[in-house]
Chain A
Amino acid sequence: MKRKPPARLAPALIGLVALTLGAAPALAQQQPLPASNAPQAAPTTAAPDDGGLTGSVTGEGAWQDLGVAIPAFPTDNPVPTAAEGGNTAALGKSLARVVYNDLKNNGLFKPTGPDALPGVAYPQVSAPDFGGWRARSAEMLVQGFVRAAPDGRLTVGCYLYDVALGSELARQGYVVQPADWRRAAHKCADMVYSRLSGESPFFDSKIAYIAETGPKDHRRKQLAIMDSDGANHRFITNGQATALTPRYSPDYQQIAYLSYLNGNPRIYVYDIGTGTQHLVLQSRNPTFAPRWSPDGKSLLFSMAIGGNTDIYRIPATGGTPVRLTNTPGINVGGSYSPDGKRIVFESDRSGSQQVYVMNADGTDQKRISFFGGRAATPEWSPRGDQVAFTCICGNLRVAVMNPSGGDMRFLTNSWQDEAPTWSPNGRIIQFFRTEKNTGRTSIWQVDLTGRNERKLNTPVDASDPAWGPVLP
């Protein structure tokens, strides 16, 4: 690899953009970066790829114990910015902190962050001091930079180095508005995570959930949203009407949820851009448990008529519902397989809540859960290989099984854990936990080993998490 003097970083960047910029997504525009002076490992021969998870929980690679050093991201020119810190130098440290927290909080890595490391000079970003990092026992090194353009937009570069080999493993650059600075850090963490684990990214994503306050018999429940790390928290509804079970549309533009607005439970679709909402179906009957199709064009919902509940599909913009189940009893929920061809759902037609699978048109309904106790709230993994559900087996516990009902495993063991939702890459599950007696709720997440469990920080109590896809 040809050595590039640091002074020529910017012109080289522009040149590369002009050469290779393809169909770039709008929000966090990804931008090619100049190569570092380190030799680049060919992706096909890099060891971490071979150690990637392949769907088995026993496939943990040694990458999980890698020491990852993440020093502050330097800037070429400390100028004011509307992003955190007020200037690009302070912002660079915040960026590295977000990357550090992403990698640390999910139990996947043991990183060392910018508050425990010396700073690096701007030219070193693409010419790391490998000897110095080896002396600190770092195995992997994440370096980046931040620059502000005259129009305020930020360019953030992100490099991943293998310290022992002295080679560059990956690099990416992002152009973001100052308000979206955290997204650049999440994209950087995603790049590091993906390159070292072989898994798809998930940090740059959002969560819709229900914020809860007040005593157990007068709980106020508001629709709220936040980034995957809890940042950028925002209440959507004011709590006047009880809100429950939100689901983000795949493009993050809308949220379907249940509201007791006007006294009766009905599904509404809230549009984030306009702040308006519409009733999905005008009906005298209660509608609940909304779920998006993978293409975002239709919704599954459940409707009770005369005490009997069935699952229906309806265009997301409204229209005529199509009934998919027609057995006596409660058929409820539903979650599409990633290819949209099948639906996993819950039914008590056998006498107790169990999990069933059917084709997307409602044909070929088959029970898949046969392990004693009841099985509820099935959610199909975005990878397609697993179904997460709530096992009502004495306590309520989050468990997974394959789509045929085999290989059932518990992931949690508490008094009441329910409503699992998958990370966009299908490796982590969020759910909510209710405390005995007090009724207080909180959102937790657990990886597929069941070992790395942690509580998410939310401003108030929280339930019904719904994790959306990775942002484009």
Chain B
Amino acid sequence: MNRKLLVVTMLAGSLSLAACSSNSAKNRSAAELPPQPSAGTTTTTPPPAGPSGPTAGSQADFVASVQSDTIHFDLDRYNVDAQSQAILQSQAQWLARYPGKLVTIEGHCDERGTRDYNIALGERRANAAKAYLVSLGIDASRITTVSYGKERPIALGSDEASYAQNRRAVTVTVQ
């Protein structure tokens, strides 16, 4: 499976989502963003020419430092599984390193559900991720949640592989 490509896609997507969370950049697409500086361990894509490394405490630094900014969920579920726990632990380490930083966790669902329920389910997923970070010692006041229900898919197919990618909670730093 083309896991490397998948990770890169998700990184680009998470930046796009970060942009989306401010109103002024609502319609910017991932494709329009400049190539991101990438020094992370999650990708072997050669880093593009440009800045030598992300600014400490920045969103780029967060993405480069953590295992992933995204955890995934099973169909209709919101429990944080072992793989997601490891990802959230890496996020908690970064948050411990930058105690002044705030994050928003965005909860998402796949398209095979009804609109209202998916907003509630996305919120439940974001809260599950938040609760796990809090259990690791991160102050709850540093974490806000927002649910996008099924409104912002990252994978665009109508198939199980796409749905699995879309059932997610994405941690975005508040800059």
List residues of chain A with CB under 8 Å of any chain B CB: 214-221, 240-242, 244-245, 258, 262-265, 286, 288-289, 302, 304, 306-309, 330, 332-333, 346, 348, 352-353, 376-377, 390, 392, 396, 415-416, 418-419, 434, 436-437, 439, 464
Choose from B27, B116, B119, B154 the contact partner of A220 (Cβ within 8 Å): B27
Other-chain contact of B23, A240, A306, A434, A439 (Cβ < 8 Å): A240
CA distance A139 to B150 in the complex (A): 51
How many residue pairs at the A-B interface have CB separations less than 8 Å?
A: 108
Docked complex Cα distance between A325 and B52 (Å): 54
Interface-centre pick from A220, A330, A348, A415 (highest chain B CB count, 10 A): A330
Q: A217-B156, A220-B27, A265-B146 are in contact. Are A302 and B120 (CB under 8 A)?
A: yes
B residues less than 8 Å from A464 (CB atoms):
115
Given contacts A220-B27, A241-B23, A439-B156, contact A289 B116 (CB under 8 A): yes
In-complex Cβ contact of A286 among B76, B146, B153 (8 A): B146
B residues 71-125 touching A (CB-CB < 8 Å): 76, 78, 111-117, 119-121, 123-125
Asked if residues A352 and B120 are in contact (CB atoms below 8 Å), the reply is no
- Residues of B close to A415: CB separation below 8 A: 158
Q: Are A377 and B116 in contact (CB under 8 A)?
A: yes
Tell whether, in the assembled complex, residue A377 and residue B114 are in contact, meaning their CB atoms are under 8 Å apart. yes
Measured between alpha carbons, how far is A344 from B110 in the docked complex, in Å?
A: 25
Q: How far is the CB of A286 from chain B (nearest CB, A)?
A: 6
Shortest Cβ distance from B23 into chain A, in angstroms?
7
The docked-state distance in angstroms from the alpha carbon of A288 to that of B119 is: 8
Q: Are B112 and A217 in contact (CB under 8 A)?
A: no
Q: Kindly list 13 other residue pairs between chains A and B, CB separation below 8 angstroms, not including A245-B116, A330-B120, A332-B117.
A: A217-B156, A241-B26, A263-B23, A286-B119, A286-B147, A307-B124, A307-B131, A330-B121, A377-B115, A390-B114, A392-B113, A437-B156, A439-B156
Task: Across the A-B interface, give the 5 residue pairs with the lowest CB-CB distance, nearest first.
Answer: A307-B127, A309-B120, A307-B124, A289-B116, A304-B123
Contact B119 A439 (CB under 8 A): no
Which interface residue of B26, B119, B131, B147 has the most chain A CB atoms within 10 A? B119
Q: In this complex, what residue of A is CB-closest to B146?
A: A264
Taking the nearest CB of chain B, how far is it from the CB of A460, in angstroms? 16
Contacts of A309 in B (CB 8 A): 120, 123-124
Interface size on B, residues (CB 8 A): 34
Ordered by A's residue number, 8 sampled pairs between the chains whose C-beta atoms are within 8 Å are A304-B147, A307-B125, A330-B117, A346-B116, A352-B76, A353-B117, A419-B114, A437-B158
Shortest Cβ gap from A58 to chain B (Å): 30
Q: How far is the CB of A28 from chain B (nearest CB, A)?
A: 34
- Please give me the residue from chain B that is nearest to A330 by CB atom: B120
B156 contact set on A, CB distance < 8 A: 216-217, 437, 439
| Nearest CB on B from A169, distance (A) | 43
Query: How many angstroms between the C-alpha atoms of A169 and B78 in the bound complex?
Result: 61
Contacts of B164 in A (CB 8 A): none
Chain A nearest Cβ from B117, distance in angstroms? 6
A346 and B117 within 8 A (CB): yes
Question: Is there a chain A Cβ closer than 8 Å to B157's Cβ?
Answer: yes
Cα distance A265–B116 when bound, in Å?
11
Contacts of B147 in A (CB 8 A): 265, 286, 304
Contact B116 A288 (CB under 8 A): yes
Q: Is the CB of B157 within 8 A of A376?
A: no
Give A415 to B159 CA distance when docked, in angstroms.
12
B128 touches which of A216, A242, A286, A307 (Cβ 8 Å):
A307
Report which of B27, B121, B131 forms a contact with A218, defined as CB distance below 8 A: B27
Q: Mark B5-30, 1 if CB is under 8 A from A, else 0.
A: 00000000000000001110011010
The chain B residue with its CB closest to the CB of A463 is B115
User: Does B142 lie at the interface of the complex (its beta carbon under 8 Å from any beta carbon of A)?
Assistant: no
Q: How far is the CA of A306 from the CA of B22 in the complex (A)?
A: 23
Q: Is B112 a contact of A419 with CB atoms below 8 Å? A: no
Residue numbers in B under 8 Å from A396 (CB-CB): 112, 114
Is A306 a contact partner of B120 (Cβ separation < 8 A)?
A: no
Q: Separation in Å of the B47 CB from the closest CB of chain A?
A: 25
| CB neighbours of B127 from chain A (8 A) | 304, 306-307
What chain B residues lie within 8 Å of A346 (beta carbons)? 116-117
* A218-B29, A306-B127 known; A332 vs B111 contact (CB < 8 Å): no
Judge whether A245 and B111 touch: CB under 8 Å.
Answer: no
In the bound complex, what is the Cα–Cα distance between A273 and B121 (angstroms)? 35
> How far is the CB of B27 from the nearest CB of chain A, in Å?
6
Report B17 CB to chain A, min CB distance, Å: 10
A284 to chain B: closest CB distance in Å? 8
Q: Which of A352, A353, A418 contacts B115 (CB 8 A)?
A: A418
Q: A263: nearest residue on chain B (CB-CB)?
A: B21
- Whether B120 pairs with A304 at a CB distance below 8 angstroms is yes
With a cutoff of 8 Å between Cβ atoms, the chain B residues found around residue A218 in the complex are 27, 29
Is B116 in contact with A307, judged by CB distance below 8 angstroms?
A: no
A437 to chain B, nearest CB (A): 5
A244 B121 Cβ-Cβ under 8 A = no
Chain A residues, Cβ within 8 Å of B139: none
Chain B residues with CB below 8 A from A214, complex form: 27
CB–CB A262/B119 < 8 A: no
Shortest Cβ distance from B76 into A: residue: A352
CB pair A439 B76 closer than 8 Å: no
How far is it, in angstroms, between the C-alpha of A63 and the C-alpha of B113 when the chains are bound? 39
Question: How far is A219 from B152 in the complex, measured between Cα atoms in Å?
Answer: 8
Query: Shortest beta-carbon distance, A252 to chain B, in Å?
Result: 23
Q: Is the CB of A330 within 8 A of B124?
A: yes
> Closest residue to B121 on the A side, CB-wise?
A330
B102 CB → nearest A CB, Å: 14
Q: How far is the CA of A289 from the CA of B123 in the complex (A)?
A: 14
* Contact pick for A439, options B111, B123, B124, CB 8 Å: B111
Residues of chain B within 8 A (CB-CB) of A304 are 119-120, 123-124, 127, 147
